[in-house]
Structure formats: C-alpha cells, structure tokens
Structure 1
Amino acid sequence: MSKHYPLLLLFIAVFYAFTAIKSTGFHQPDEHFQIVEFANYKLGKTKATDLSWEYGAQIRPSLQPGIAYMTFSIMDLLGLNDVFIKTLVLRLLTSAIAITAIHLFGKSNKDLFNKNYYGFYIILSYLLWFIPYVSVRFSSESWSGIFLIFALYYLKVNPLKARSGFIFGLIIGFSVLFRYQSLLFAFGICLWLLLIQKSTWKPFIYITLGVSTTLFFGFLLDFWFYGKPVVTIYNYFEANIIKDVASTFGVSPWYEYLWFIFSSPGFVIGFGISISVVLVLLKYKNDLILWTVVPFIVIHSIIPHKEMRFLFPLVFLCPYFLIYALKECKNFNRFKTALIDIFVIFFLVSNNMGLIVISTKSAGNGKQRIGDFIHENYDDIPVHVIYIGPISSYNDWPFSRNTFFQYQNVNITNKYSIWDSDIETVLKPNMDNLLMLSNEDITGARSKKRLQEIGFHLVEQTIPWYDQKIISIYDPDNNDNIQIYRLTKSVN
C-alpha cells in the first residue's frame, strides 16, 4: 500500500476537487444562512435584519463565519468577486483540510490492521461514498468532524503528558467551537482516559486548559463579530436545551438516529455500519473510538429534535468500525465467510453508485443547479424565469434573506401550474424565457404535449438522468429533480 499511496492521494485530491466543483449549493440551509450570510454581513454587504434568527439570539459561534469572512476579503483584494467561485474556494479549502485529517488519522490506525485490511481501510477512509460529500461541505458538522479526527490522531500518537494534554485540548476545543454538541466527544474521550486508561487527574487539568484556551479564542471572535461580549455557548444551551427552541423545528422518537444510521447510507451500507458498531461494542468494549461515539449518539437520541446532518461529524469514523467488523467476521467458518464475501461485493457496488451521485450533482436536493445554470448561461444577459410551484433556489426563507447570491438580470414569475390559462401571457419578448418545474409536474404525455404547444423544450435537469436512476433505487419516491425548459419560439 505504501508504494502506491502517493498515487492514491493524487487521485483522492483530484476526485475531492471534482466533487467540490460539482457539489454546489448547500446540504442544509444553515450551511448558507448561518455561515456565508453571516460573513456577508460582516463584510458590510447585508443588513442584520436580513439574517437568520440565530444572529439575534447570538447563539452562533463566529469562528466559521470568520473563516469565510477572511477568505472572501482576500478574494476581494485579488479581484475575485464571483460569488460562485468564492463558495467553491470554501469547499476546496474544506476538502484539503479533510484529506489531511483523514491521512493522519489513517496513519494512527496502521498497527490495528494487517496489511490487507489496512489497505482496504485506507481506501474506505477516503471513498466511503458519503465521506467525500461531507468532506467538501463548508458546514459546522463537517469541520467539527474533521477536527475530531485531528484530535484523535494526536491522542493516539502522543503519550498523554502536560504539553500533549494541552495541545489535545486545543484541537478538540476547535471541534467543539465549530459545533458545540461536539463537547460530547470530549466527554466520551475523557471518560475513556479516566475509566479505561486509568489516567491520573493531572492530564485532565491540561486538557481542560487547552479546551478553555480555544473557547476563550472563540469568545474573542464572538466579541469581534457581535460587537459586544457574548457567551454563545451558554446562549446556545439556553435557547435549544432549556427553552427547547430546537423542538419547534420538529421532534422525532429516540430511535431516529439508529434508523438514520441504518437507512441513510443505503440499506446495504447502513446494515454493514450498524452491524459493525454492534460487533465492536460486543468485542472491543474498551475501544477509544467506541467511547468517543457512544455518548454522542446516546445524548443526541434523548434530545427531541433530530436531523441526519447532526451525525455528519461521525462519518470519518465509519471505516474504522467497518474494517474492525470485517476482520472479526473473517474468523467465521467457511460458509459464513462466503456469505460475507457476497455482502462485500454488494457493499462495494452500492458504494460506487453513491460515489457517482455525490460527485456529479449539486448538494442536497440539487436545486442550486438552477442558480448554476443561470450563472453559466445568463451571467450578464437578461432572462425571464417562470417557476412552477415553490422550487426557486432564489426564494428567501421567511425570516432570512439570501443576499449573497444576487441575480439582478433575472426576472422571476411564479405560476401554480403549467395548466394555468394565462401562462402564455406572462412570456416576455426580447429575452430568453425559461420554465422550471419538478418531475411531479410532468404527469404524462398530456403534460409534455402542453409544453411543446407553448414552445418549451427541455435543456437541463438539476439532477443528471443517470443519478436519477441510481437515486430511484435508493429512494423510489424521490422527486427532487427540476426540469429546465427554454422557449424556442418568438414572443410578440
């Protein structure tokens, strides 16, 4: 593996960069409205009243908006003002840091697996299908997970003494500063040090000092960002735990995260991850990674509001569990080993299908591809866009505005249906007319004939057709794709 590792790293760098280019937009609105828009506000390009409620509540740590602010400021000085390039740079920056963290964490686990298993582990560490996707997201979950594995790497390769304890505290502190829920990782690691490693209390003093130093740095950043002393970690706890504001965005049963782990990666891969965690839990109760993960999942399961993205910091640890489980399963008798080999084949096929999807479509539901299409084809050209239903990537949220992506040349009309009697009257002369509608709006041959009669012809889809085929296997009810039509006849 070591002989071919440089070539693998080169391939990984190219693949991650390609994924970053294609994975435009955001997985979840917080990735944009609580980071990019916050940075845009600090640059003086938007008003505080246009920001999400988290700004007024002062619960958002400003470290990540600060990184975006610095990145955008440097790009402005260089004359790179294209907002699509700016967000691409954030994704490329994330991917570079993620590759570094995965590389170091992989090295720290080399002694745990023999040569054959270690090679498979390294490949999965970079190419388990959802890892490249998370590794290019400029989100709090991604950066928190990246700094978690930086911290675990450092803990594994350095004996815990005063200096190393302080540095470990600094690193895990950044994981917490990117996302406060990651304090649970620090809690689990400290439990492992105390109960399994039987550490004395002295290292905990230095770990606490390191974490406190990072959090104090965060306090200074928040002072700069909000313009006054703010303890955002307390405000966050008060708003989302004491006042339970998070539950207003939906609640789920305690077992929801277990279902997410099983279903969200695809049932074949999800089954493998679920079984692997159980096997490690049964056979390696003293494992550091297990103690890191379990408190995080348990406490999150108790909290009523649950989202799949809250598990993103854990994705970098999935290959660790999978290879541990595979190593154990290979000790079974020949018949069971044959079944495992068949499962591994299905696993790899499913994984390759996932890699195709995440590397060829925009993030989340793919709607940002609408903005990409306009940017690529009508950057400085007036264009009229007719949206059928609530599918616009330009529409603002009720209490926060998308001020970063501004499209002055786009004239927007919303219509309820292609069957609206006046739809032809809204067409505008002397500019291109585009029609955008979801797959659900095309109900059969009559719908297609209606579009042809008006003069619209399909020119783009937000999710490529081959990705739609793969996604339909994973989720037959998925209708996220948006079809983009162009009017080919003249308007009087």
Structure 2
Amino acid sequence: MWQKLKKLVFLPYHLEEFSVQQVFRLSFLFLAFFHIYAALMSEGFHRPDEHLGMIRMVLYKLGKLEASQLSWEFPVQIRSWAQPYFYVAIAKIYGQLGAANPFILATLFRLSSSLLALTALFWFMRTTTTLFEKDADKKLSLSLFPFIWYLPFFHARTSTENFSSSLTLFAIAGLIYLHKKTVRVCLLPFIIGLCMAFAFYFRLQMATSLLPALIPFVFFQKQQWKTAIIIIAGGLCGLGLNVLIDYQGYGNWVFSPWNNVYQNVFKGMASSFGTDPFYTYFSKSFLRGIPPISLFFLAIPLIYWFKRPKCILTWVSLPFLMAHSCLAHKELRFIFFLGQLIPPMAPIFVAWCKSLPGIRTSYVNSFHYVAKLALILSLVLSLASSSRDAYSHMGFYKFLYHLKPVPQKIYTLNVVRDVLEFYLPGPVEFVYSPNFTSSAESAYVLTDSYADMLHLTTHSHCLEVYSEYSVFFQSLLQKIAKSKDWAVLQCPASAHNL
C-alpha cells in the first residue's frame, strides 16, 4: 500500500511503469478530486471584488439588491454581464426546486466554475501531448498538472480571472488541436473564436495572450487563412453576443471593455488600488509561490521561451506576463493563468538541464532532492488551500443564518466593510457603534478583537454566543489582546457604556 502511495506522490519519478494513457488518467483523477474538494470546502471569496463585483450583480438581477448598493463598477459599466447571468441561471433553477440556502447555492456556483476549469484542463492536457514526439515527454507533462498546487483553489472562485482563464485555455487547446489535425472543421475554429471573445470580455487583459496566440498559428505553422478567418468570425459573433448581453444587463448599449480601459487607465482607478514596480511579479512569484516550488515556476518558463520561441505556449505566456508587468497595479491572481502552462513547458526544461556539460553528480542529486521536496509540498499545499475557507469570517455568516429569530440590528465596535448580503437570512442592519450603549431590548454586538470581546463580557454582562476560535485558542489569545477574533455577544438592555 505504501509503495503504491509513494508512486502516486512521486509520479513524475515512476513514469516508466505507466503508459501515456495511464498517466493521463491518474493525473486527471488527482485534479478532479482536488477541484471538487476545493469547490465544496473553500467557502467565501478570495478577493473582495469576487463578491462586490460578481455576486452583488447576481443579487441585483434576482431582485435582492438595489442598484445603489452595488460597487462603483456598476454605474460606470465596466463589467460584463455574461458571467453574472450564468450564476443567475443556476440560482433560478435552484430556486425552482424550492431551496433557499445561500451556502448550498454558493457551493453550486463554485462547483460550476470548477467543472468549467476542469473541462478546459482535460482538453488542454490532451492536446498539449501532441507537442511532443517522445512518450517520456508526454508523460512528464501530464504528470505535473496535479502539482500546480493553487489551481483547485483558484478554479473554485467565481471570479472573472478564473472564467477568462478557463476559456483562454479552451481556445489555446483548440488552436493546438487544429495545428495537428489535417482535416479542417469549420465549427471548431468558430467555437475557438467565441471562447476568445468571451475570455476577452470577462477580462480584457487576456487579449495580451489571445491575440499573440494567433501569430504562430497563422505565420509560423503555415495554417490556412480560411481557418483564421473563421476564428475571427467566431470572435466577432462572440463580441456581438456580449454587447447584447450587456444591453440586457445595463439597459443601454455599452461596450464594457472600453469603459474598463477608460476608468482604469485614463482615469487612473487601477492605480488607486496601489502601484508596484515592473519586477513585482517575479519577486512575488518567488516569495509567495513557496520555495522551492517557485524556483521551478520561474525557471521553467524562462528556459522554454529561450528554447521554443516560435511555439504557441511562448506567444501565449510571454506577452501576457510582459503586459501585466507594465501595468501599475499588480496582484498575483492576475497571472494565476500562467501556472497551467508550466507542465507542458517542463519537458523542455528537463532536456535543457540534461544537456548542460560538466554537471557533477552531486548537483544532479541535489536537484532531485529539491524536486521531490517540491512535489511533496505541492500536494500538501493543494490539500491545505482546498480545505480552508477562502474568506476567514464565513463562520460568522453561518451562525447568523441559523440564528433564530433573525436580529434586525447588529452593533459593531468597528466598521464592517463589504458585508456579504448574499449569506444574510434577511434584512440585517450593521450599526457602527464604537461606544456601544444599552438598547431598549437585548442586542447583539459583533467584535473583531479578543480585547473588545473580553471587555464586554467582563464589564457589560454580555454573553458570548459565537466565536471564530475554540475555548482552547481563546486561552492562547489572552496573551495577545489585539488578536483578531470575530465574536458575537448578546448584551442585555442594561449594558453599560464602554
């Protein structure tokens, strides 16, 4: 049993024992398990705009929010409506079944997002094997997909970055497939164009990957212009369809990608969220990508770009990274897409390492130790990132949802930003009251630090009814008064001023 498990964990080191098809099945089963597990377990949002800019638009179309409650992006009309309408359709089907639990509905959103990405990965894994002649290279590429540790967590998100990434992966896989097939089918190029258009509309920065992808397809690989024209036709139809969808969403004709450029570039909205130097993605990828894993994340593409300058993977990834590096505001989630391209690049990197002259055996052994450590860390991180809530305060919303009767007000000692209305059981008002006084009736108070919770329970006869931490961890927090701990206290009408 241990030997079989060891072979699975170190699959890239036991490839000679499996066929290409077996490696594909094992790798995809790993991916499927982690993707479904992450969709079920990683509740909440990774970044606030996943809720503010996506879920609130869904609530608006479901009639549960007013337009005035939406983020600044809504009045300036910079977001596409296609993805919100996708979730609206799921919500309406769920509602028709007589169900209303928002946590189950959110799980369905994550599952649908994850399954879309998993389907894209399935086809991408299939098609990228055609880039290699040797079975050993095919197996190495396939075996590494489960070790891109953040993909299950990323693919479970209801973000535009995730959806645009999945559709771009579909398009790239389609282009590779067309290059390797002698029979031309008009429908596939048209679908590729549609995927490109929707990926661009979801996140316009994907154009820096999508447009360069056509260059090697048309020029270096000598494809027929007829196929490229069909792709362009599909893209134009996709753009037109998105314009119609946005008209339905906003109620007026709008080209949201242009509004996005105008607001974020010309009016400087993106820079208002912070600016970073050109090299930030390289430094952040190394530090936050978890060394030694991040060493391979950086080294593999660099060698691949040098060794395969005309390959579609180079044209998809290098312009994308350079363009994002030139943008003022940088976040790692903006380039998560690139991680999916690492596995099919890896065989070229390994071949380059083997070709280096004069490498001593000790260096080779050290490389293998580092590589094995990276494999173990990747699986551990995949499990850890997939097991935790994406938003750390989801427990509070679960408590509030099941609290009977539902309180009309919750007093807060600090400002609660970005309330997740999606999970509220009804209209609940969060009242900012840094100097909480007694109310006519007993009141619920939300604290966000252990010190505030301790002060209320000690001096105001308040009873703690919920805490993010167990009694054991609370005893540890006593030594750190400023420790963050969302707790709900039920305070009697006679509670004193703080």
Q: TM-score range by the shorter chain?
A: 0.7 to 0.9
Q: Secondary structure at the match of 1:60?
A: coil
Question: Amino acid of the residue matched to residue 397 of structure 2?
Answer: G
Q: Distance in 2 between matches of 1:427 and 1:74?
A: 46
Unpaired segments of 5 or more residues in structure 2?
A: 1-18, 429-442
Alpha-carbon deviation of 1:257? 1.5
Task: Determine if the alignment matches structure 1 residue 405 to structure 2 residue 446.
Answer: no
Q: Distance in 1 between matches of 2:97 and 2:319?
A: 45
Alpha-carbon deviation of 1:233? 1.4
> 2:411 touches 2:445 (CA, 8 Å); kept in 1?
yes
Which of 342, 349, 355 pairs up with 2:382?
Answer: 355
Q: Distance in 2 between matches of 1:143 and 1:129?
A: 18
Task: Determine if the alignment matches structure 1 residue 433 to structure 2 residue 465.
Answer: yes
Q: Secondary structure at the match of 1:413?
A: strand
Alpha-carbon deviation of 1:6? 4.5
Which of 181, 192, 197 pairs up with 1:173?
Answer: 197
Q: Secondary structure at the match of 2:115?
A: helix
Alpha-carbon deviation of 1:52? 0.4
Alpha-carbon deviation of 1:387? 7.1
Which of 303, 313, 317 pairs up with 1:279?
Answer: 303
Range 78-87 or range 185-194, more displaced: 185-194
Q: Secondary structure at the match of 2:420?
A: coil
Deviations along 1:90-119, whole A, 9 cap, x unmatched?
Answer: 111122122211111111122345434433
Q: 1:321 to 1:369 in 2, by over 3 A?
A: farther
Q: 1:339 to 1:421 in 2, by over 3 A?
A: closer
Which of 358, 361, 367 pairs up with 2:393?
Answer: 367
Which of 69, 88, 91 pairs up with 2:110?
Answer: 91
Aligned to 1:460: none
Alpha-carbon deviation of 1:16? 1.9
Aligned to 2:250: 226
Give TM-score, length-normalised by structure 2.
Answer: 0.80
Aligned to 1:108: 127
Which of 306, 330, 337 pairs up with 1:306?
Answer: 330
> 1:273 touches 1:321 (CA, 8 Å); kept in 2?
no
Aligned to 1:288: 312
Give TM-score, length-normalised by structure 1.
Answer: 0.81
Which of 286, 291, 301 pairs up with 1:267?
Answer: 291
Q: 1:198 to 1:117 in 2, by over 3 A?
A: closer
Q: Distance in 1 between matches of 2:294 and 2:30?
A: 26
Q: Distance in 2 between matches of 1:297 and 1:282?
A: 15
Range 271-280 or range 339-348, more displaced: 339-348
Aligned to 1:322: 346
Q: Secondary structure at the match of 1:310?
A: helix
Q: Distance in 2 between matches of 1:94 and 1:192?
A: 30
Q: 1:186 to 1:445 in 2, by over 3 A?
A: closer
Q: Secondary structure at the match of 2:278?
A: coil
Q: Secondary structure at the match of 1:359?
A: helix
Aligned to 1:59: 78
Alpha-carbon deviation of 1:266? 0.9
Question: Amino acid of the residue matched to residue 40 of structure 1?
Answer: L
Q: Distance in 1 between matches of 2:270 and 2:258?
A: 15
Q: Distance in 2 between matches of 1:112 and 1:330?
A: 20
Alpha-carbon deviation of 1:280? 0.7
Which of 161, 185, 193 pairs up with 2:217?
Answer: 193
Which of 94, 107, 128 pairs up with 2:148?
Answer: 128
Q: Secondary structure at the match of 1:349?
A: helix
> 2:466 touches 2:487 (CA, 8 Å); kept in 1?
yes
> 1:329 touches 1:337 (CA, 8 Å); kept in 2?
no
Question: Amino acid of the residue matched to residue 396 of structure 1?
Answer: R
Alpha-carbon deviation of 1:243? 1.7
Question: Amino acid of the residue matched to residue 43 of structure 2?
Answer: T
Which of 242, 245, 249 pairs up with 2:266?
Answer: 242
CA RMSD across the alignment:
3.4
Question: Amino acid of the residue matched to residue 444 of structure 2?
Answer: N
Range 204-213 or range 289-298, more displaced: 204-213
- State percent identity of aligned pairs: 25
> 2:445 touches 2:489 (CA, 8 Å); kept in 1?
no
Alpha-carbon deviation of 1:260? 2.6
Which of 36, 41, 46 pairs up with 1:17?
Answer: 36
Q: Distance in 1 between matches of 2:477 and 2:148?
A: 40
Q: Distance in 2 between matches of 1:189 and 1:199?
A: 13
Q: 1:486 to 1:402 in 2, by over 3 A?
A: closer
Which of 146, 161, 170 pairs up with 1:141?
Answer: 161
Aligned to 1:346: 373
Q: 1:203 to 1:222 in 2, by over 3 A?
A: same
Unpaired segments of 5 or more residues in structure 1?
A: 451-478
Aligned residues: 448
Question: Amino acid of the residue matched to residue 128 of structure 1?
Answer: I
Q: Secondary structure at the match of 2:387?
A: coil
Q: Distance in 2 between matches of 1:62 and 1:445?
A: 44
Q: Secondary structure at the match of 2:390?
A: coil
